[in-house]
């Protein structure tokens, strides 16, 4: 498994410089929304990325809250953060 969408892959490249180290970690998570929540919360910090993945495995809803993707406007927020599909 890899990163859920091309637009998220672009954001990962921008924030982390490459998808090489990040893609396998995110690949363990299901869906663009959860993956994006981890990436947005991490803000380019690999340590935070791993913490976010661990949190998502414990309770994926918590990572959505941390990233601001838990509310009904999460689709619009993803479009703002990642670009429209």
Task: Give the count of domains, the chain.
Answer: 1
* CA 33 to each of CA 46, 62: distance values in angstroms, whole numbers, following the listed order: 19, 12
Residues 6+ apart with CB under 8 A from 22: 3, 12, 16, 39, 46, 49
| Chain segment 39-80, per-residue pLDDT in tens | 999 999 999 999 999 999 999 999 999 999 999 999 999 999
Q: Is residue 72 part of a domain?
A: yes
**Rounded to two decimals, what is the model's pTM?**
0.93
Range(s) of the domain holding residue 61: 6-82
Q: Is residue 1 part of a domain?
A: no
- What integer is the mean pLDDT of 23-36? 91
Q: Is residue 57 part of a domain?
A: yes
CB 65 within 8 A of CB 50: no
């Amino acid at each position: 498994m890899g990163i859920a969408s091309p637009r998220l892959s672009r954001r990962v490249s921008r924030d982390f410089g490459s998808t090489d180290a990040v893609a396998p970690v995110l690949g363990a998570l299901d869906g663009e929304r959860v993956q994006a929540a981890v990436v947005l919360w991490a803000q380019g910090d690999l340590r935070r990325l791993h913490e976010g993945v661990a949190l998502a495995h414990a309770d994926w809803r918590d990572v959505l809250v941390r990233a601001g993707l838990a509310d009904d406007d999460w689709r619009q927020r993803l479009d703002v953060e990642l670009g429209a599909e």
